[in-house]
Amino acid sequence: MSVYDPVKYKQGAIDNWNRVAPDYHKEWAGAGRGPFQSTKELVAAAGIKEDHSVLDLACGTGAVSAQVAARLGPSGTLVGIDFSRGALEIAKIGIPAGHFAEMDAESIGIAAKFDRVLCQYALMFFPEPTSVVTQIASLLKNDGRLAVAVHGTARGVPYFSTIMGPVLRHIPDIRPDGAPTVHRFGEPADLERLLASAGFADVAVKKFVFSYNAGTFDDYWSDYMSTTAASIRSRIEAKGEGVVAAIRREAREAAESFTRNEEVKFPWEVLVATGVNG
């Protein structure tokens, strides 16, 4: 079993996001497809007013920031931070009214206080999520609100597990023991406990189930390998054509239950949680 190194893990994540940001924005975040149907639900849950100061934590290419900016008036302020320079460049172009900075969410160098902090699809990947939510609490004004969105369980998000399940069976050491996973806070109780541990009150978690049309299985496989699995693709392919073919065959079989008229249509479970700074 390979050893999990948080520093190496984070550097790999930065390199990967810098590389895939354009395709990620075009096919996912910018297009509002699949899980990004939750963006409007996340922003609505935050309860943003025109004069609010808002921090979009791990803002990526700006899916959340764009909808926040549309709700703010002239006296409102939007700040977005992310560790991916490539993603930030896309956000800056698309949302000229925002203030964007390259910054690690686990070491936030901001002295300002915010009315709202939003975070979509990043919390589960932080090596130290408890530290992150504690920092968020310190950045919020009294009675300020945090709103986060995370992916659901492996069963609730088969887009990930349909391919990753066979990958892990054939290459069990591809994920270091203890490394963060996409389903880390897929259970509502785990997400509730995390926010409560940082002192947030009135914590509420709402579950949404969206639909994602992945196209044919070949479309799905190609998209998954070029975006979601981009950081491990070379390691998968290094195992040889026989292993790749076996993974692909098992994934195709798993996808059959979601296939209609040769198109793979997945349900996509998303949790949106809110908490008030006490």
> Which pLDDT tens digit goes with each residue over 181-226?
999 999 999 999 999 999 999 999 999 999 999 999 999 999 999 8
Q: Are 114 and 233 in contact (CB under 8 A)?
A: no
| CATH number for the domain harbouring residue 77 | 3.40.50.150
Q: Are 246 and 166 in contact (CB under 8 A)?
A: yes
Q: Using 50, 70 and 90 to split pLDDT, how confident is the model at 1?
A: low
Tell me, yes or no, whether 136 lies in a domain: yes
pLDDT per residue as tens digits for the range 132-166: 999 999 999 999 999 999 999 999 999 999 999 99
Residue 49 in this model has a pLDDT that exceeds 60:
yes
Give the helix/strand (H/E) hosting 205: strand 200-213
- What is the three-class DSSP state of 234? helix
pLDDT per residue as tens digits for the range 51-70: 999 999 999 999 999 999 99
Query: Quick one: pLDDT at residue 8?
Result: 87
Return the closest-CA partner of residue 147 out of 179, 99, 125, 114: 114
Query: Quick one: pLDDT at residue 2?
Result: 67
Tell me, yes or no, whether 237 lies in a domain: yes
Q: Could you list the residue range(s) of the whole structural domain that residue 39 is in?
A: 6-277
Tell me, yes or no, whether 179 lies in a domain: yes
**What are 71's two structure tokens?**
């709700």
Query: Quick one: pLDDT at residue 227?
Result: 86
Residue 9 in this model has a pLDDT that exceeds 90:
no
Query: Quick one: pLDDT at residue 87?
Result: 95
DSSP state letters, 127-174: S-HHHHHHHHHHHEEEEEEEEEEEE--TTT-HHHHHHHHHHHHH-GGG
Q: Calculate ∠ Cα 250-254-255, nearest 5°.
A: 115
Tell me, yes or no, whether 263 lies in a domain: yes
Q: How many domains does the chain have?
A: 1
216 CB contacts (<8 Å, ≥6 apart)?
262, 263, 264
Cα 44–chain centre separation: 18
Query: Quick one: pLDDT at residue 184?
Result: 95
Query: Quick one: pLDDT at residue 3?
Result: 79
Tell me, yes or no, whether 1 lies in a domain: no
